Amino acid sequence: MDFSKVKLVVTDMDGTLLNSKSEVSDRFFTIFNQLKCQNIQFIAASGRQYHSIVDRLYPIKNDITIIAENGGMVKQGEIELFSTTLLQENCIKSIKLLRTISNTYIVLCGKEMAYIETEDEHFISMFQNYYSKFTIVKDLTKVADDNFLKIAAYHFECSETYIFPVVKHLENEMQVIVSGEHWLDISHDNANKGYALNILQNKWGITKEETMVFGDYNNDLNMLELGYFSYAMENAHPNVKNIAKFKTKSNNEHGVELVLEQMINSRNLI
């Protein structure tokens, strides 16, 4: 395979670059230095909070671009490039609807931090893996002193089965996407990874043919369409495997690293 044209690598985090323990391998950081030497741009694109992504990629945080909150906010180092927020009225409508679904936990995702209205220790213990900066409030609909990027909903069994059918009708005015086995996100129509990636490609003058993308879930579908070198993880949702041109090993088998090493080695031979 000819990787010589690649100028941009984009990867999802959970289920893709991160292993099942939410860790980034030392192997990846070594690879990143080689990408940098070859002038290849790197984007981490995730449904995670910006602060949580930085925690995982701290050694290289000033050298990469981060698409956080499923495209709600994009930052390059400390500089915010752009963001797409939800209207307050849409936040309130979504929160009230989500409250009607049993065993569903709601996260109001602001630029400054995340907000939750539960004190359930089981949920909070899990939630802290994705949101490192948060506060507990009495009523999410009363939070006003922040700009809101999305609303995330969590179900311990399955978000696609229990949450999506209840909120699907909101797709007429907002974006509703199953972003993980347990997560569902509600955001502005333009707050998605693909929309954000397209803006960055245009900004940098990088084409689809020069872009490599890795993903594993439905929130990665629109960004996978923007890379000729589109890879589905072995552990990916069937929808992702159907749309990606190529496949790699699972997130626990260094699927991303294997492809990047193959690319770097082939370019070194040129």
Would you list the domain boundaries of the chain? 8-83+192-268, 88-187
Dihedral sign computed on CA atoms, order 80, 56, 21, 29: positive
**Domain 88-187: assigned CATH number:** 3.30.1240.10
pLDDT for 30-77, tens place per residue? Answer: 999 999 999 999 999 999 999 999 999 999 999 999 999 999 999 998
User: Which structure tokens are listed for 163?
Assistant: 């949450």
**Given pLDDT bands bounded at 50, 70 and 90, which one contains residue 100?**
very high
Q: What pTM value is reported for the model?
A: 0.91
Q: Pairing between strand 183-187 and 175-178?
A: antiparallel
Q: Can you give the pLDDT at residue 270? A: 55
Q: Topology of 8-83+192-268 in CATH?
A: Rossmann fold (3.40.50)
In this predicted structure, the answer to whether residue 269 has a pLDDT above a threshold of 80 is no
| DSSP reduced 3-state for 173 | coil
- For residue 74, list its beta bridge partners: 67, 82
